[in-house]
Amino acid sequence: MYPVRNVARARQFYEETLGLTAGLTGNKGDQWWIEYDLPGGGCVALTNFIPDEPSAAAGGTIAFEVEDLDALIADLKSKGAPPYRIVRFQPRLAKAMSASASIPW
């Protein structure tokens, strides 16, 4: 579960930039819970129901396996993804770290 401040901006990033499809969603006024089912199982959830702020200490790490990491990086940049620094561990394994202290949404 990842806390978000701006639900519309977060949804735009996860749905339009990353291409994920929202699964279970629910809201109570301006408070939201959104789950994204992941290929091969599992899900990632976003919420603003909790008072936590997005930060390196809130939530965990998400890993996606891709066939062509360089193509993915180019695609994300072309879609205006926030600035990040890529740390490569292996040809198909890398970590993207936010250029700011917190996730912008």
pLDDT tens profile 19-40: 899 998 999 999 999 999 887 7
Q: Is residue 74 part of a domain?
A: yes
Residue 90 lies in a domain: yes
Domain of residue 29 covers 2-98
Within a domain: residue 105?
no
User: How many structural domains is the chain composed of?
Assistant: 1
| Phi and psi angles of residue 15, each rounded to the nearest 5 degrees, phi first | -90, -45
Token output for 31: 């408070």
CATH label of the domain that carries residue 88:
3.10.180.10
The pLDDT assigned to 102 comes to: 47
pLDDT digits (tens, 9 = 90+) for 40-95: 777 888 989 888 777 666 655 566 667 777 887 788 888 887 766 666 665 555 65
Task: Indicate whether 27 belongs to any domain.
Answer: yes
Sign of CA dihedral 50, 55, 57, 59: positive
The answer to whether residue 65 sits within a structural domain is yes
Given this model, what pLDDT does residue 75 score?
A: 85
CA 48, CA 2: separation in Å to the nearest integer?
9
